[in-house]
Amino acid sequence: MKTLMIAILFVVACGKDNPADEIDAGSGSDFDAEPIDAGGPIDADCVTDPVTSAQLMNACTTAQRIEKHPVLPLRLPDGGLPPLP
């Protein structure tokens, strides 16, 4: 039995009438990444009609998904990743 330290969400997200009523996806990534053109509202938690790689990874799906926000003490103040040792 897994301890539910993280939210496990089963979502049938495509075609939601109001994505803002769904979970907070943290506006996508919380790390040092290029902005994603989600092709929809910035607070949408999945992408409809995905085309780009980032959109495909974040496309609406019936699959189980897991939200995780780990504490990473070595992360840089700007959220980026330090060079490897």
Partner 1 sequence: MRLSLAGVLGVALLAIPSAAHAAPCPTFTNPVFMQVGDTQENLLKTLGVATVADPDRALTIVYVTSGSCTNIDAIYANTQLASGATVKYVPAGLNPTAAAPTCQLAAAQALDIANSALFVEACTAAGTPPDVVTFHEGPKQAYAFVVPEVSNETAITAEEAYFAFGFGDQGGVTPWDDETQMFIRTPTKSTLLALAASIAVPGVKWQGFMFDKSTEVVAALQTATKPQKAIGILGVEVYDKLRGSLDALAFQAYDQWYAYYPDSTATATDKQNVRDGHYFPWSPTVWMVRDDAPHLADAERMVGLILGTVSPTGYDPLAIEIGVGLVPDCAMMVSRELEAGPLSVYEADEPCHCLYDSIATSTTCTACPAGTCATGTCVHGYCEE
* Site for partner 1, rule CB under 8 A: 2-3, 5-6, 8-9, 25-26, 28-29, 31, 33-34, 36, 45-46, 50-54, 56-59, 61-68, 70-75, 81, 84-85
> What are the phi and psi torsion angles at 21 (to 5°)?
-80, -15
Least distance in angstroms from the C-beta of 52 to partner 1: 8
SS3 (DSSP) at 7: strand
Place of tokens 């609406």: 60
Which of 20/63 has CB closer to partner 1? 63
How many whole angstroms from its chain centre is CA 49?
A: 16
DSSP letter (8 states) at residue 64: E
Which of 20/56 has CB closer to partner 1? 56
